Amino acid sequence: MSDDLILETRGILKQYPGLTALNRVDYRVRRNAVNVLIGENGAGKSTLMRILAGVEAPDSGEILLNGSAISLRSPREAAAHGIAIVHQELAVLPNLDLAENVFAGRELTRSALIDRTTEDRRTVSALLRLGKPMEAKTPAAALSLGRRQLVELARSLAHGASLLILDEPTSALSLAEAETLFGVLAELKAGGMTIIYISHRLHELLHLGDHFTVLRSGCVVGEGARGEVDRKWIVERMSGKAYGELSACAGATVGESLLSIRDLCVAPMRDDEAALQGLSVELRRGEILGVYGLLGSGRTELMETLAGARGVTSGTVTLQGKPLRLKDVASTVEAGMVLVPEDRQRDGLIPELSIRENIALSSMGGVLIDRKRQAAETEKLARELSIAAPDLERPITALSGGNQQKALLARCLMRSPKVLLLDEPTRGVDVGAKEEIYRILRRLAGDGLSIVFTSSEIEETRMLATRTLVLCQGRIAAELTAAETTDEALFSAASPQVVQTKDGVEVTV
């Protein structure tokens, strides 16, 4: 192990039923540097980081820290070795103050009592190291998202971390908060901290990174140092294709305009959401319109607005020439626009009900229900969508993720919609189920159904969309035909661009 390596994995294998998440991965982390880890969703990044953080154990392989083999059987053991992770979903508890959050689960004691004096002092010291002096007894609920993230970093510093893993750290931050974080990371690196940085935002990676590693399908497919790496290098290794060969799916024959959106503006409901700003687009009959963007781009906000779950600040939406008020979900569904939500467990499925009952939910709104007709329609849709279940009376929880997604799709189709909205249509499903869902959607579009889907996956957008809108910070950054939808075009449009002004100031646009 060379002197510049602080951590190395050799032959890490991690398998789940029907899936090899990591295939004998050799991964190297350079000391006192920002080590960028890149890969599409499902590449194995999160699995590898969970192993390094002690959350999961590998099936085989070894981990070396400063040249010596170590065992990481729990997050506490990883912390004892100086390894800390800040997850994308922050774990700050709003009902506790800052010091209580920093030492939650690892309280300092003296004579069997919590030593608040020492906890407060170490919390303030860690926050000062991050350049953000705050009182230890400040309630966490009073903090912005950016400052909550600093509390997570302070927790790592207070417990002696020397290797910090950051998973999508800017996904919910404003531009100003992200700039603050970048300054903090520079200070930490200068002070001897080693950082593993994961993000889909290429401008961040190229701006911050010292060393780059690319994962694809559970394998390391590229390593490079600053100066050797550019967008082209990253795109080629992530996609496995030569730059310029990254073509979109073929376009499809579409009909007349069906849905028209004009100057749509929508205010955010939470601090971590994007405000939609002046969106205008036409959707034609039989078209599959992809909406691509990074986390925080406004993808989900747009879908929920069209589904009637958010209020519109200004602008108009018309369906077949008739204005839509988008006042609530029920009226939007009645007008012919239905949504398959991003989180099917939280927002879609009713786990206590059977497969048949979950599919039939959308047709249960009337006073009189034709049970025989409803059962026949449910059976028909289950066959057409190839839902793999010997009996539709079985619990919905008995289905795989892909079949649960198809059950939600069947529910929407029972309403005979004019426009089908899908937020991350293949989230959490395996490769085989993805292909099935793609075939189903193409067939539905061929039958004249108009489809709008969002995706954070480059490949999925290229494979499925006949036309693509790229969102960045709540605005349409690009509108691409099928032929124009390349990896490079999507990456470039989705990533906020850093512009050097004449005064030498970097501005993100």
Tell me, what CATH number does 459's domain have? 3.40.50.300
Q: Evaluate whether residue 446 is within a structural domain.
A: yes
For the stretch 87-112, pLDDT in tens is 766 778 888 888 888 888 788 888 88
For the stretch 168-211, pLDDT in tens is 887 666 666 778 788 888 988 998 999 999 987 777 888 899 99
User: Could you say which of 214, 239, 264 is where a domain stops?
Assistant: 239
Query: Is 170 exposed, middle or buried (CB count within 10 Å of its CB: 0-12, 13-18, 19+)?
Result: buried
Q: Evaluate whether residue 498 is within a structural domain.
A: yes
Residues 285 and 225 in one domain: no
Q: Residue 234, Cβ neighbours under 10 Å: how many?
A: 24
User: Could you say which of 239, 255, 289 is where a domain stops?
Assistant: 239
For the stretch 367-393, pLDDT in tens is 456 677 778 888 888 888 888 877 888
Task: For residue 207, give both structure tokens.
Answer: 């701006």
Residues 298 and 214 in one domain: no
Residues 218 and 88 in one domain: yes
Answer for the pair 340, 333: CB distance below 8 angstroms, yes or no.
no
Q: Evaluate whether residue 377 is within a structural domain.
A: no
Q: Evaluate whether residue 58 is within a structural domain.
A: yes
212-223: average pLDDT: 93
Predicted pLDDT at 499: 43
For the stretch 111-156, pLDDT in tens is 888 888 988 898 888 888 877 788 888 888 887 777 887 888 888 8
Q: Which strand (E) or helix (H) includes residue 212?
A: strand 211-216
What global pTM score does this model have?
0.58
Task: Produce one character per residue of 292-303: b if its CB has 16 or more CB atoms within 10 Å, e if not.
Answer: bbbbbbbbbbbb
Q: Evaluate whether residue 186 is within a structural domain.
A: yes
Residues 326 and 225 in one domain: no
Confidence of residue 445 (pLDDT cuts 50, 70, 90): very high
Q: Evaluate whether residue 389 is within a structural domain.
A: no
Q: How many domains does the chain have?
A: 2
CA triplet 375, 378, 382: central angle to 5 degrees? 140
482-507: average pLDDT: 67
For the stretch 300-340, pLDDT in tens is 899 999 999 888 999 999 999 999 888 788 889 889 999 98
pLDDT at 509 over 70: no
Regarding predicted confidence, which is higher, 246 or 368?
A: 368
Of 71, 201, 88, the residue nearest 149 (C-alpha): 88
Domain of 316, in residue numbers: 246-336+417-509
Give the rounded distance of the alpha carbon of 473 from its chain centre.
15
**Distance, CA of 11 to CA of 31 (rounded, Å):** 21
Of 325, 300, 312, the residue nearest 421 (C-alpha): 300
Of 404, 412, 410, the residue nearest 433 (C-alpha): 404
**Distance, CA of 12 to CA of 59 (rounded, Å):** 7
Beta bridge partners of 83: 163
Q: Which strand (E) or helix (H) includes residue 32?
A: none
**Distance, CA of 379 to CA of 363 (rounded, Å):** 14
User: Could you say which of 239, 271, 305 is where a domain stops?
Assistant: 239
Regarding predicted confidence, which is higher, 396 or 42?
A: 396
Q: Evaluate whether residue 387 is within a structural domain.
A: no
pLDDT at 508 over 70: no
Residues 115 and 228 in one domain: yes
Residues 187 and 287 in one domain: no
Q: Residue 117, Cβ neighbours under 10 Å: how many?
A: 12
For the stretch 390-418, pLDDT in tens is 788 888 888 877 788 888 888 999 888 99
For the stretch 252-311, pLDDT in tens is 567 889 999 999 999 888 766 778 999 999 999 999 999 998 767 888 899 999 999 888
β-strand 68-70 against 211-216: which pairing, if any? Answer: unpaired
Residues 425 and 283 in one domain: yes
